[in-house]
Homo-oligomer: A and B are copies of this chain.
């Protein structure tokens, strides 16, 4: 081969070398465990679907139509790569819910593709980790979403985070009593910019774009600023209650009832009160969500935005079936969270998945080395046998560089005495133990290390 092809990935795509893939797999496993522990079951759907199905709900002028990866397959079909997991789930539900039955709690984790502008750490291929309960309007399902997010964040190693909840019922009730129901989109879009452009500019934009009076604009801002003004959740609910006492709204009442039940049940179920906070300014997906909405922030990195978001919707699959499927769910932003964990130095720098390297000292003892390694594996400890007969020093250097924790060495003397050298690579300490003591000695080092890592 004389003409080499330059090895490269497409713009907006990336490789995951082991040091990125090991923590990524770890997060995916933890997430899967938490979802499952709540009784959510896994499904999967194809990466490719009929374009008609993926774009069915997307408006003609939407950006999504431009960034979707779309082409003709071998059979001349108009096909596209999925851009999220929600539309495929809607199609799946319409197709299979008759056999599956409701309520149905599913999770799905996998890559999606969007040919967006790159930059700001955005990629054209990224993973979503969704969970949803469909077929029920019960607030118990909304409450469970908050519990799942809480337990998930804890399982991923976070203590300092906050789940912000709101209800679109509350927002819509507020807009209705102010005669602004028709201007929801414009107003909420301006409100969304509060943290970026500031109070005065938001008022200016609302009066200009939505054509409301500055008084009304200030009333909308008041809603967004209730939490800071009020303090804790009970006081927020009290202030909101007072507001709606003089402006009765069935929607707002239902929204507030659902939120306060969410706070009460999560507290009773053991979630610390300060982990969940009512934030009436959160709207999310203006057209899609209709009830409770969720966002999750890392207190040490609020600027990276919500790492787990979702909400309640009236109907998942109206495009594909007449059966109404209300539901509630959320999605973990895996890549954003990983970037956050990297910034917070929560990721270990490991390039090995096994803690033990068995050194190859004598070629004709490979069976013994692999036998020892298999014994360790059977005891739940990963072990790698160095494949080549290199100098012991070189093999130990390799072990240190890759982040192995223990090296096991046996040469002629050790085999004669039925002992092994056990080398703690972090502390550079070496002990010699009988062959039936090796697993216990390794276990002691491996456990010690993992405790010290927190």
Q: Which residues of A contact B (CB under 8 A)?
A: 1, 4-11, 13-18, 21-22, 24-25, 29, 32, 35-50, 52-53, 56, 66-67, 69, 71-75, 77, 79, 81, 91-92, 94-96, 99-101, 103, 105-106, 111, 113, 115, 125, 133, 136, 138, 140-141, 143-144, 147, 151, 261, 264-270, 317-322, 351-354, 357, 360, 366-368, 370-371, 373-374, 377, 381-389, 398, 401
> 5 pairs across A/B with beta carbons < 8 Å?
A15-B95, A24-B42, A37-B383, A39-B384, A268-B367
Asked if A15 meets B92 with Cβ closer than 8 Å, knowing A38-B382, A42-B21, A382-B39, the reply is yes
Q: Judge whether B115 and A73 touch: CB under 8 Å.
A: yes
* Residues of B contacting A147 in the complex (Cβ-Cβ under 8 angstroms): 370, 374
Residues in chain B near residue A317, CB distance under 8 A: 7
Chain B residues with CB below 8 A from A7, complex form: 53, 91-92, 94-95, 317, 320-321
A73 to B36 Cα, complex, angstroms: 37
* Shortest Cβ gap from A273 to chain B (Å): 13
Q: Closest 6 CB pairs between A and B? A: A268-B367, A39-B384, A71-B71, A269-B370, A39-B354, A18-B41
Q: Which residues of B sit under 8 angstroms from A25, Cβ to Cβ?
A: 32, 42
Known contacts A5-B56, A319-B1: does B40 contact A353 (CB below 8 Å)? yes
Distance, CA A133 to CA B75, complexed state (A):
39
Sample of 7 more A-B contacts, CB < 8 Å, known A7-B317, A42-B353: A4-B320, A5-B53, A6-B320, A21-B44, A37-B381, A266-B370, A269-B370
Known: A41-B18, A94-B7. A371 touches B268 (CB 8 A): yes
Nearest B residue (CB) for A41: B18
Q: A15-B46, A382-B39 are in contact. Are A269 and B374 (CB under 8 A)?
A: yes
Q: Are A22 and B41 neighbours in the complex by a CB distance under 8 Å?
A: yes
Identify which of A35, A49, A73, A387 gathers the most chain B CB atoms within 10 Å of its CB.
A387
- Which residues does chain B contribute within 8 Å of A96, judged by CB atoms? 15, 17
**CB atoms of A49 and B10 under 8 A apart:** yes
Bound CA–CA A24/B353 (angstroms): 22
Of B11, B47, B351, B371, which one neighbours A269 at CB under 8 angstroms? B371
Q: Is the Cβ of A5 less than 8 Å from the Cβ of B52?
A: yes
Min CB distance A343 to B, Å, is 21
Q: Which residues of B contact A39 (CB under 8 A)?
A: 352-354, 357, 382-384
Complex Cα spacing A125 to B44, Å: 12
Known: A38-B377, A367-B269. A106 touches B18 (CB 8 A): yes
- Shortest distance from the beta carbon of A163 to any chain B beta carbon, whole Å: 15
Residues of B within 8 A of A389 (CB): 138
Taken together as a complex, chains A and B put the C-alpha atoms of A46 and B103 apart, in Å, by 35
How distant is A363 from chain B, measured CB to nearest CB, in Å? 8
| Nearest-Cβ distance from residue A422 to partner chain B, whole angstroms | 17
Q: Which residue of B is nearest A271, CB measured?
A: B374
Q: Which residues of B contact A269 (CB under 8 A)?
A: 367, 370-371, 373-374
CB of A205, distance to nearest CB on chain B (Å): 32
List residues of chain B with CB within 8 A of the CB of A111.
47
Assess whether B8 is in contact with A50, with CB atoms less than 8 Å apart.
Answer: yes
Partner of A382, one of B36, B56, B133, B387: B36
Contact of A67 among B74, B319, B383 (CB under 8 A): B74
Q: Which residue of B lies closest to A3 (CB)?
A: B319
A100 CB contacts on chain B under 8 angstroms: 17-18, 351
